[in-house]
Amino acid sequence: MISDLNTSTRFLLGPGPSMVPPRVLRAMASPLVGHLDPEFLRVMEDEQTLLRLVFQTKNELTLAVPGTGTSGMEAALCNFIEPGDAVLVAIMGFFGERLAEIAKRYGAQVDRLERPWGEVFDPAEIEAALKARKYKLLALVHAETSTGALQTGIPEIASAAHEHGSLLVLDTVTSLGGLPVEIDRWGVDVAYSAAQKSLSCPPGLAPITVNEHARQALQQRKTPVGSYYLDLIGLEKYWGEPHAYHHTAPISLHYALREGLRIVEEEGLEQRFARHRAFAEMLWEGLENLDLPLLVPAAQRLTTLSTPQIPATVDDALVRRRLLDEYNIEIAAGFGPLKGKVWRIGLMGHSSRREHVRLLLGALEDILMNG
Amino acid sequence: MISDLNTSTRFLLGPGPSMVPPRVLRAMASPLVGHLDPEFLRVMEDEQTLLRLVFQTKNELTLAVPGTGTSGMEAALCNFIEPGDAVLVAIMGFFGERLAEIAKRYGAQVDRLERPWGEVFDPAEIEAALKARKYKLLALVHAETSTGALQTGIPEIASAAHEHGSLLVLDTVTSLGGLPVEIDRWGVDVAYSAAQKSLSCPPGLAPITVNEHARQALQQRKTPVGSYYLDLIGLEKYWGEPHAYHHTAPISLHYALREGLRIVEEEGLEQRFARHRAFAEMLWEGLENLDLPLLVPAAQRLTTLSTPQIPATVDDALVRRRLLDEYNIEIAAGFGPLKGKVWRIGLMGHSSRREHVRLLLGALEDILMNG
């Protein structure tokens, strides 16, 4: 027989999932109604209203894809790519790589523009590439979870994309709800995110928003969308009229997301961004005092995810294991070229709190200074 | 401001989600650990052990796809189809149609074998079609949620598929956990299901199992799987060694599924099937007494989902609305050619209880007999 579930109480200070507020856990545990129950349709309507608020958009086609962040990424690409389409991907880390990989699977001719992991693009560099060849779509990451770098200049990049006839698809997985994401003002055509980062909900839903321009492109496709499950036409017909069956929505996760978004609304976006900044700065100062300098220069640094460099004398895996086993703190390892070189410390949503920063710095001090 | 979540307490007697036991809701509301936490990897291992039990299989590649049942259907097809492959789909309802639609999206040449909705296939008919043309894959539904019909003769169909060099993909969405599903003994190559039917967990995970024969076919693909999110090679590398990041697992839903599967184990499969049968028979007798004869003959009838025919004098939508508004009971409408002709009444998992049958029959009697 398999025993009772009995997991430890972790401080989740990695790249996600972040810590879920008790209110959200309670909402999630409500008894279920059906996925076509009029009461559930109202739950989804509320979610859409609140998602528009955090995306800072009026886009009608704003909903949550029934899967984790990666399903959002795949939906944002496969709905707008037809086999043979030219796609430009600006890559500065792991999730840029994943964008390129998924675009290829849907038959795109992918051109890659690359910066070393930890750096970001000068918008002029992207514009030059858009000028050199006609692309159906430009995809890039706003907040690179693998490096801790923030791509600035999104409005300029969006203008360049539109000037050259491309749609802009933006990954806001690690920014939405923790850093400003202004879909309408910036002119982003398609953006997606994930529930378990700065929105502090359990993983399993991927918010997405699509403007009218991209929606027209979707409606004008010559071929059906490659994936049925992620087909936005089907998803939209379920979320809106005629509320036609497409999939059985993950009811409990919607209860959770609705509650998590209510918390965002109550706190207010500006206050929430300021809180993320304040505790990130507290963390950065503490890390520097521990001789753990940050990989990314301050101007391009995410406040939601920080990447201190690991000194050569320190055993990466041992420190992470001791944090988990002795302090119940989760932080994450670096990926790819940053493996063994940085840690990834997330202060997202409910995890972004003074007491968590103080605890982590204290624990790191114990382990690094006192062995 | 959006108000507190305040949904009604429904009796979920439709085609899913079924009612979720309080133990499962409580497990789901546990604080989260990370998706690569050693404790979470053990949760997934437990789930795999329990899924093998309900699928009655030793298949190593047994896991839960991070999406609803439709994502399981798509995963079961897209991992085994390459563009141009010939695929045979045996269609006797809505979900057979969906199998054909998804196979087409992944580039298959789809041949359709059809029976009117409510009927099932004679295995000899399927064998004749397998003989007439070489197919990479045969897909069909074991328990048709749109009609209430059970496809019998799966072992014969599996033998025929193998004799003619085809893989058998079986939809067990509405059978797994409520009706016998014997993957190994029957010789099914790939089967998938959904958490929210007879397993009585919240929707959002799709159990899948793949035997060695199909796994080899997967490894021998010439092209990458069309979907990245549903790629079983990536999913398997996360569930098993090296536990490589593929997506951020929906932690809370895994807590729920593990608990729901423990309940299945505690009850015992045979007892569980017998319970589903006993309350289905009680329902059928009651429906017949109300002059609501069943669409499907007894020998092919699902015990998990029943489809009484609606008399011409009865207003389909009005009865369902009154059941919901006055009694908090959800049952579902018919689909496609059965729209307005049948209701779909699910007694799945925790919903399959004497008190629910009694309540539903009483409510129907009130509405139909006493206006």
Which residues of chain B neighbour A260 with C-beta distances below 8 Å? Answer: none
* Torsion angles phi and psi, residue B287, rounded to 5: -65, -45
Secondary structure letter of residue A298 according to DSSP: G
Residues 6+ apart with CB under 8 A from B76: B139, B169, B171, B190, B191, B192, B208
Q: What is the mean pLDDT of chain A?
A: 98
**Structure confidence at residue A370 as a pLDDT band (50, 70, 90):** confident
Same domain, A250 and A286: no
Residue B158: which of B179, B174, B181 has the closest Cα?
A: B181
d(CA B117, CA B341): 12
Domain that holds residue A286: 11-16+269-369
Question: Per the domain annotation, does B97 fall within a domain?
Answer: yes
Mean pLDDT of A289-313: 97
The answer to whether residues A314 and A229 belong to one domain is no
pLDDT of residue A357: 98
Q: Which of A234, A265, A296 is the last residue of a domain?
A: A265
Residue B204 has its nearest CB partner, among A26, A204, A246, at A204
Does B50 contact A2 at a Cβ distance shorter than 8 Å?
A: yes
Note the pLDDT of residue A1. 81
Pairing of strands A143-144, A149-150: antiparallel
Does B115 lie in the same domain as B240? yes
| DSSP code of residue A369 | H
Residue B150 covered by a domain? yes
Nearest 10 degrees: Cα torsion A107, A110, A116, A118: -50
Q: Evaluate whether A314 touches A308 at the Cβ level (below 8 Å).
A: no
Look up residue A213 and give its two tokens.
Answer: 């321009």
The answer to whether residues B260 and B297 belong to one domain is: no
User: Count of CB atoms within 10 A of residue A362's CB?
Assistant: 12
Using the 3D structure, point to which of B265, B288, B308 is the last residue of a domain. B265
Does A164 lie in the same domain as A45?
Answer: yes
Residue B232 contacts A, CB cutoff 8 Å: no
Q: What is the pLDDT of residue B287?
A: 98
Q: CATH number of the domain that A157 lies in?
A: 3.40.640.10
For residue B370, what pLDDT is reported?
78
Confirm or reject contact between B77 and chain A (CB < 8 A). Answer: no
- Give the pLDDT of residue B1: 81
In chain A, % of residues over pLDDT 90: 99
Residues A198-213: what's their mean pLDDT?
Answer: 98
Greatest distance between any 2 Cα atoms in chain B:
64
Q: What is the pLDDT of residues A276-292, one digit of tens each?
A: 999 999 999 999 999 99
- From the list A255, A293, A302, A227, the residue with the least C-alpha distance to A15 is A302
Q: Cα B46 vs. chain centroid, distance in angstroms?
A: 21
Would the pLDDT of B371 be above 80?
A: no
Q: What is the largest CA-CA distance in chain A?
A: 64
- A310: in domain: yes
Cβ of B204 within 8 Å of Cβ of A27? The answer is no
- Asked if the C-beta of A219 comes within 8 angstroms of chain B's C-beta atoms, the answer is no
* Shortest Cα–Cα distance, B307 to chain A (Å): 18
Chain B (329-368) residues lying within 8 Å, Cβ to Cβ, of chain A: 330, 332, 335
DSSP string, B45-80: HHHHHHHHHHHT---SEEEEESS-HHHHHHHHHHTT
Contacts of A112 (CB under 8 A, 6+ apart): A89, A91, A100
The alpha carbon of residue A326 and the mean position of all alpha carbons in its chain are separated, in whole angstroms, by: 29
B203 falls within a domain:
yes
Residues of B whose CB is below 8 A from A68: 66, 247-250
DSSP annotation string for B10-44 = -EE-SSS--PPPHHHHHHHTSPP--TT-HHHHHHH
Residue A288 domain flag: yes
For residue B77, give the nearest of B145, B162, B137, B130 by alpha carbon.
B137
Residue A70 to residue B228, Cβ atoms within 8 A:
yes
Question: For residue B137, what are the β-bridge partners?
Answer: B87, B167
Judged against a pLDDT cut of 90, whether residue A318 lies above it is answered with yes
Beta carbons of A169 and A147 less than 8 angstroms apart: no
State how far the Cα of B14 lies from the Cα of B203, in Å rounded to an integer: 14
Where a domain ends, among A265, A285, A307?
Answer: A265
Is the Cβ of A317 closer than 8 Å to some Cβ of chain B? no
* pLDDT exceeds 90 at position A371: no
| Structural domain includes residue A4 | no
DSSP structural state of residue B153 = -
3 state DSSP class of A276: helix
pLDDT in tens, B11-65: 999 999 999 999 999 999 999 999 999 999 999 999 999 999 999 999 999 999 9
Are residues A176 and A279 both part of a single domain?
A: no
Residue B34 lies in a domain: yes
Residues A173 and A187 in one domain: yes
Rounded CA gap, B58 and B212, in Å? 10
Q: How many domains does chain B have?
A: 2
User: Looking at the structure, do residues A224 and A168 belong to the same domain, yes or no?
Assistant: yes
- Are residues A67 and B229, on separate chains, in Cβ contact within 8 Å? yes
The share of chain B scoring above pLDDT 90, in percent, equals 99
Amino acid identity, position B166: S
Cross-strand pairs, B110: B87
Asked if A95 is an interface residue toward chain B (Cβ–Cβ < 8 A), one would say no
Asked if the model's pLDDT at residue A354 lies above 90, the reply is: yes
* Residue type, position B282, single letter: M
B210-247 per-position pLDDT tens digit = 999 999 999 999 999 999 999 999 999 999 999 999 99
Examine the domain organization and report whether B278 and B313 are in the same domain.
yes
Q: Per-residue pLDDT averaged across A113-117, rounded? A: 98
For A225-250, the pLDDT digits (tens) are 999 999 999 999 999 999 999 999 99
Q: What is the CA radius of gyration of chain A?
A: 21
Q: Mark whether B195 and B76 lie in a shared domain.
A: yes
Report if residue B3 sits inside a domain: no
Confidence band for B5, pLDDT divided at 50, 70 and 90: very high
Tell me: do A248 and A290 sit in the same domain. no
Residues 6+ positions from A135 with CB-CB distance below 8 Å: A86, A87, A88, A111, A164, A165, A166
In this structure, the answer to whether residues A169 and A91 fall within a common structural domain is yes
Q: Is A62 on the interface with B (CB under 8 A)?
A: no
Q: Which CATH number covers residue A354?
A: 3.90.1150.10
Rounded to two decimals, the pTM is: 0.98
pLDDT of A7 above 90: yes
The 10s digit of each residue's pLDDT in B164-220 is 999 999 999 999 999 999 999 999 999 999 999 999 999 999 999 999 999 999 999
Structural element, H or E, at residue B335 = none
